[in-house]
Structure 1
Amino acid sequence: MTQQGARWTADQVLALAPDDSSRRAGSKLGTAGPWSEAGSCDEGAVWGLCKGSGSRPYQTIVDMAGTAAPAYKCSCPSRKFPCKHALGLLLLWAGEDDSVPTAQRAPDWAEEWISGRRERARDKRTADAGSSGGGSADPEAARRRAERRAERVTAGATELEQRLADLLRGGLATAERAEYGLWEETAARMVDAQAPGLAARVRELGAIPASGPGWPVRLLEECALLHLLDQGWLRRDRLPEPLRATVRSRIGLPASAVGPPVRDDWLVLAQYDTADAKLTTRRIWLHGAQSGRTGLLLSYGAAGRAPELALPVGLVLDAELSPYPGAGQARAALGQTFGPPAPTSVRPPGVSTAEAAVRYGEALRADPWLDSTPVTLDRVVPVPDGESWQLADADTDSALPLTPTARSRPGLWRLVALSGGAPVKVFGECGHRGFAPLTAWPEGPGEAVPLC
């Protein structure tokens, strides 16, 4: 955005939308009709006045200078970020080259917010730099708090082991007759033990008996994994440090990213949200063009609100990432950025469907509780498989089935349309339930197509 010739695509703009309704509403505002006084500057800001239902137009500003993701300001009453006006403004800017002219400076109403925001960002970077490496103000107090929490988690894991033993002793059929409140009560006990990871897995157990045919097998598998996690915690002193860090992470104990940070041109592979009654979690997958590493950024928002961090799929970000501890963990923390996301022709290297299955197996060796691992498939074709779908390798006889969730997403039809029977490159998550496609590229020249 700092170079006015480097325009985004409409798909990259719409990938910032917090939900489908915002995406549709923003698309309607991506034309010149409702806009006046629209402009942009080489420092990475775009602004405009959008006609609304009231007598005064909405003042809309988008700024990306020195940040990983855009920042938004709009005088409309919407609580969504970005709102439909910000999306429409970016779509207008991403369209014809003369739709949003370049200006020497922003108008006063926009300049005041842009300058204030950038000054606050500089102050925050200075404060972060000053506090980095400072450690806890009272290391001894922090150590005692960690020991008390470990004792509570140990008590919770011991209690959970007894409850699992009671379930198996009474037979899995008793789980079907038990009401969900029994599982919720057990989960609440794990919350009291300050082990939110255990609580989440217990709640998942409660939903399995109502999940359809074959539920006893699935319940037994999940009970075994939960037992393994309990035992990993209770015998953590016998584990190598990387696996011990993974157990702590799966239990739900907090951890900080460990250095050194890796600076790279990080390609935004995919972005998608999952939500429950309390929290919206955003997952952003990145690929390092030089390092070849894969990183996962997690961002959170309160229920009903999208997380603030948003990166357009298919763009590249010059930034530093610091990995979190743990065997096979891809999670990373976003550090200093050296410019806004920019268009790129970079694509991640791909593997065959058979190699993807092997990668998941290797990842499970490091993290037995891993549902899936990030993989890019090269030269695959989406084909129907009875009532389901699969990605068939164009060069071999192997294929990967799509997950049930992926088969129900609208993105499947975007993938089928992009392919048209020809091979495509697809990034997604490969796990024991199948492959979940998240982004695709045509075999020839073309932009990334988000599928979620």
Structure 2
Amino acid sequence: MSDRWDRQQVLGLAPDPASAKAAVGIAKPGRWGGTGGDDEALWGECAGSGKSVYRTGVDLTEPAFRCTCPSRKFPCKHALGLLLLWSEGAVPHGARPGWVAEWIEQRRERADKAHERQEHRAAKARDPKTAERREARVDDGVAELDQWLRDQVTHGLAQAEKAPYRLWDDAARRLVDAQAGGLAGQVRGLAGVPRRPGWPDRLLEEYALLRLLVRAYQRRDELPAPLRETVRTRVGFTVPQEEVLAEGERVRDRWCVTGSRDTAADQLTIRRVWLRGAETGRPALVLSFAAPGRPLEASLVVGTAVDADLAFYPGARPLRALLAERHGPAEPAHPPGTTIAGLLDEHAAALADDPWLGRWPAVLTDVRPARTATGELHVIDAKGHALPLRAADPWRLLAVSGGEPVTVSGEWTPQGLRALAAWHHNEGMVIL
């Protein structure tokens, strides 16, 4: 059977604290029947409310999950509960039932077909005539966006404050038609700029960053190659995974998984998994995408570290990467961190290379949560430096810390730090 995970690794898969708590509640042998496992899979049937019995399967090779319960979370509490039982040695080795064997086989077939489709799309994208047509359409879309931005500033921002969502959505749709999806997403995001005091200044900043990107793309031939790749990516051009794996910069390290966050965009769920090299101190971002109801990539578990090669996408500040090759199983780990001043210096250097960075990974050591005189929540380090926290529910961090220093990981943005996980010297790792 696969190397057995410990409790911390399993709970690191939970999509939120509520799922982790629910999983612990059902990880009791008496709630389960027909449990079993082999080298690649786990399965079992969990008694639900009333007469409901939910069939649950786990593909350990990725991992991936299947459950007949109505939950839309991946993994659901039943999959997590089954993994907790397995981590405790309470799942016997056995032969796969028919429904598990069929599910695993279907997964392998879909993976093969997806690989074939990806190769076909990559071959089509390499066709010179196809590439030329796309470049021409994007050029037209960028020129139209340039004029649209000029119009917004010329007409003033007062009308934008009361404008309907359609103002930005119409502009974004035209960019989608021009195959500039990256720009379209940024234009749609303008509608979400909070209408708080100082709102016009914030909107004008976003317009300025977009105009900077437009001008950079229009003058892309004059840019250094790494910055040109960053600009093309921000506009919406993608680099095939095969090309990244074959030609991208490879870095081997013991990569600590510091945080994970799921967001919804354009009828897709996007999972951002943040890593930091234990030796290099280098940050990395692994993205995965899934349509509604489909599971996301879950092999990188928060609170663990894996000896692996990452292949980085090209750019002025390479951050996004692919997991190219593992050299051993994941193990529980405490990530290396920095001070608040160190984080801000690192972020400033990254912005100098890529002014359009929306978020930056943070791992802060020996910080504690505290409230200001006005009641705002911050994290403060030993030198008295502080950062504002963006937290809809700060109580887990406050409870884990208990006023003591902890290591906190999260995403740093101009609006504050969104905490994702914390490490306490006694409590271990906790998903926030």
Q: Which TM bucket (shorter chain)? A: 0.7 to 0.9
Matched, 1:31 2:31: no
Partner of 2:248: 259
* SS, match of residue 29 in structure 2: coil
Partner of 1:343: 331
Out of 73, 83, 87, the position equivalent to 1:90 is: 83
- Evaluate the alpha carbon distance shift between residue 85 and residue 154 of structure 1 in structure 2; reply closer, same or farther with a 3 A threshold: same
- Evaluate the alpha carbon distance shift between residue 361 and residue 290 of structure 1 in structure 2; reply closer, same or farther with a 3 A threshold: closer
1:266 CA drift (Å): 2.6
1:331 CA drift (Å): 0.6
Answer whether contact 2:369 2:378 (CA < 8 A) is retained.
yes
1:247 CA drift (Å): 0.6
Amino acid at match of 2:29: A
Answer whether contact 1:314 1:447 (CA < 8 A) is retained.
no
1:29 CA drift (Å): 2.1
- Evaluate the alpha carbon distance shift between residue 57 and residue 365 of structure 1 in structure 2; reply closer, same or farther with a 3 A threshold: same
CA distance in 1, matches of 2:37, 2:278: 29
CA distance in 2, matches of 1:75, 1:166: 52
Partner of 2:155: 170
1:274 CA drift (Å): 0.9
CA distance in 2, matches of 1:205, 1:368: 17
Partner of 1:369: 356
Partner of 1:358: 345
Q: Where do 1:64-103 residues align within 5 Å?
A: 64=60, 67=61, 69-74=62-67, 81-94=74-87, 97=88, 100-103=90-93
Amino acid at match of 1:146: A
- Evaluate the alpha carbon distance shift between residue 233 and residue 304 of structure 1 in structure 2; reply closer, same or farther with a 3 A threshold: same
Amino acid at match of 2:404: A
- Evaluate the alpha carbon distance shift between residue 204 and residue 380 of structure 1 in structure 2; reply closer, same or farther with a 3 A threshold: same
Partner of 2:57: 61
Partner of 1:434: 416
Answer whether contact 1:388 1:407 (CA < 8 A) is retained.
no
Partner of 1:302: 291
- Evaluate the alpha carbon distance shift between residue 323 and residue 52 of structure 1 in structure 2; reply closer, same or farther with a 3 A threshold: same
* SS, match of residue 106 in structure 1: coil
Partner of 2:367: 380
1:166 CA drift (Å): 1.8
Q: Deviations over 1:406-429 (max 9, x none)?
A: 232x2x222111211111111222
1:446 CA drift (Å): 4.7
Matched, 1:275 2:264: yes
Q: Mean Cα displacement is larger for which, 353-362 or 268-277?
A: 268-277
Q: Deviations over 1:60-109 (max 9, x none)?
A: 33231xx3x31234455766543432222123334xx45x1543x43544
Q: Mean Cα displacement is larger for which, 149-158 or 331-340?
A: 331-340
Answer whether contact 1:38 1:47 (CA < 8 A) is retained.
yes
CA distance in 2, matches of 1:169, 1:194: 27
Partner of 2:137: 152
Matched, 1:449 2:399: no
Question: RMSD of the alignment, in Å?
Answer: 3.3
1:312 CA drift (Å): 2.5
1:323 CA drift (Å): 0.7
CA distance in 2, matches of 1:151, 1:436: 39
CA distance in 2, matches of 1:44, 1:113: 13
1:198 CA drift (Å): 1.5
Q: Mean Cα displacement is larger for which, 110-119 or 299-308?
A: 110-119
CA distance in 2, matches of 1:81, 1:432: 30
1:241 CA drift (Å): 0.8
CA distance in 1, matches of 2:172, 2:287: 24
1:246 CA drift (Å): 0.7
CA distance in 1, matches of 2:70, 2:162: 48
Q: Mean Cα displacement is larger for which, 245-254 or 172-181?
A: 172-181
Q: Where do 1:244-255 residues align within 5 Å?
A: 244-255=228-239
Q: Deviations over 1:172-209 (max 9, x none)?
A: 2232344332222211111111111221222222343x
TM-score (norm 1): 0.83
Partner of 1:142: 127
Q: Mean Cα displacement is larger for which, 48-57 or 25-34?
A: 48-57
| Number of positions where the alignment pairs a residue of Structure 1 with one of Structure 2 | 426
Amino acid at match of 1:325: P
CA distance in 1, matches of 2:264, 2:236: 18
CA distance in 1, matches of 2:50, 2:401: 45
Partner of 2:306: 317
Q: Mean Cα displacement is larger for which, 17-26 or 330-339?
A: 17-26
Q: Deviations over 1:421-452 (max 9, x none)?
A: 1111112222322222221112x35522111x
1:393 CA drift (Å): 1.1
Partner of 2:6: 7
| Consecutive unaligned residues in structure 1, runs of 5 or more | none
* SS, match of residue 323 in structure 2: strand
Answer whether contact 1:265 1:316 (CA < 8 A) is retained.
yes
Q: Mean Cα displacement is larger for which, 273-282 or 32-41?
A: 32-41
1:58 CA drift (Å): 4.1
CA distance in 1, matches of 2:218, 2:132: 14
% same residue: 45
Q: Where do 1:42-61 residues align within 5 Å?
A: 43=39, 45-52=41-48, 57-61=53-57
Partner of 1:391: 379
* SS, match of residue 7 in structure 2: coil
* SS, match of residue 356 in structure 2: coil
Answer whether contact 2:308 2:326 (CA < 8 A) is retained.
yes
* SS, match of residue 448 in structure 1: strand
- Evaluate the alpha carbon distance shift between residue 199 and residue 108 of structure 1 in structure 2; reply closer, same or farther with a 3 A threshold: closer
- Evaluate the alpha carbon distance shift between residue 349 and residue 76 of structure 1 in structure 2; reply closer, same or farther with a 3 A threshold: closer
CA distance in 1, matches of 2:166, 2:151: 17
Amino acid at match of 1:391: V
TM-score (norm 2): 0.86
- Evaluate the alpha carbon distance shift between residue 306 and residue 19 of structure 1 in structure 2; reply closer, same or farther with a 3 A threshold: farther
